Structure 1
Amino acid sequence: MSTATALATLPPGLVWQARQLAQQQGPVLPTGHAALDAELPGGGWPGAGIIELLHDHPGIGELSLLLPVLCQGASRRWQAWICPPWQPYAPALQAAGIDLDAVLLITPDNPAAALWACRQTLASGNCSAVLAWLPRIDNTGLRRLQLASEDGATPLFLFRSRNSARQPSPAPLRLALSGANGQLRIDIVKRRGPLSHRPVLLPYASLMHGSSCAG
Structure 2
Amino acid sequence: MRTQIRPSTYRQPTMHAASTSAPSAGWITELSYSEDHSGMTQQLLLPLLQQLSTQSRWQLWLTPPQKLNREWLQRSGLPLDKIMQIPLSSQIASVEAMIKALSSGNYSVVLGWIAQDITPDERLRLDKAAAQGQALGLIMRPQLSLRATSRPTNQLKIQSTLYH
User: TM-score, normalized by length of structure 1?
Assistant: 0.52
Match of 2:153 in 1: none
Give the aligned partner of residue 110 of structure 2. 130
The amino acid across from 1:133 in the alignment is W
Task: Check 1:92–1:157 CA distance in 2 against 1; reply closer, same or farther (3 A cut).
Answer: same
Deviations 1:65-93 (A, max 9, x none): 12122122233311000111111222111
Residue matched to 1:61: 40
> Unmatched 5+ residue regions in structure 1?
1-22, 32-44, 164-215
- 1:163-207, CA deviations, whole angstroms, 9 ceiling, x for partnerless residues? 7xxxxxxxxxxxxxxxxxxxxxxxxxxxxxxxxxxxxxxxxxxxx
The match for 1:105 among 85, 104, 111 is: 85
User: Residues 126 and 144 of structure 1: is their aligned pair in 2 closer, same or farther, counting only changes over 3 Å?
Assistant: same
- Structure 1 residue 30: deviation in Å? 4.6
2:50 is the alignment partner of 1:71? yes
- Return 154-163 or 84-93, whichever deviates more: 154-163
Give the equivalent residue in structure 2 for 1:48.
Answer: 26
Pair 1:141–1:24, CA change in 2 (3 A): closer
Deviation of 1:105 (Å): 0.4
Write the distance in 2 (CA, Å) between the matches of 1:99 and 1:108: 23
Distance in structure 1 (CA, Å) of the matches to 2:122 and 2:34: 21
Following TM superposition, by how much is the alpha carbon of 1:64 offset from its aligned partner in structure 2, in angstroms? 2.6
Distance 1:161 1:96 in 2: 22
- AA in 2 matched with 1:96: S
Identity of matched residues, %: 31
Matched to 1:54, the amino acid is: S
Q: Secondary structure of 1:86's partner? A: coil
- The amino acid that maps onto 1:66 is L
- In structure 2, give the amino acid aligned to 1:48: G
Which structure has the bigger radius of gyration? Answer: 2
1:28 counterpart residue number: 14
Could you tell me whether the CA contact under 8 Å between 1:80 and 1:129 is conserved in 2?
yes
Q: Quote the residue 1:143 is aligned against.
A: 124
- State the distance in 1 between where 2:25 and 2:49 align: 12
Q: Quote the Cα distance in structure 1 between the aligned partners of 2:70 and 2:43.
A: 14
The yes-or-no answer on 1:157 pairing with 2:138 is yes
Matched residue, 1:16: none
- Give distance in 1, aligned partners of 2:33 and 2:75: 25
Structure 1 stretches of 4+ with a deviation exceeding 4 A read: none
How far did residue 24 of structure 1 move? 4.2
1:113 is matched by which residue type in structure 2? A
CA RMSD, Structure 1 to Structure 2 (Å): 2.6
The structure that is helix-richer by fraction is 2
CA distance in 1, matches of 2:140, 2:92: 16
| Cα displacement string for residues 25-81 of structure 1 (whole angstroms, at most 9, x for unaligned residues) | 6x42258xxxxxxxxxxxxx9962111111232624213312122122233311000
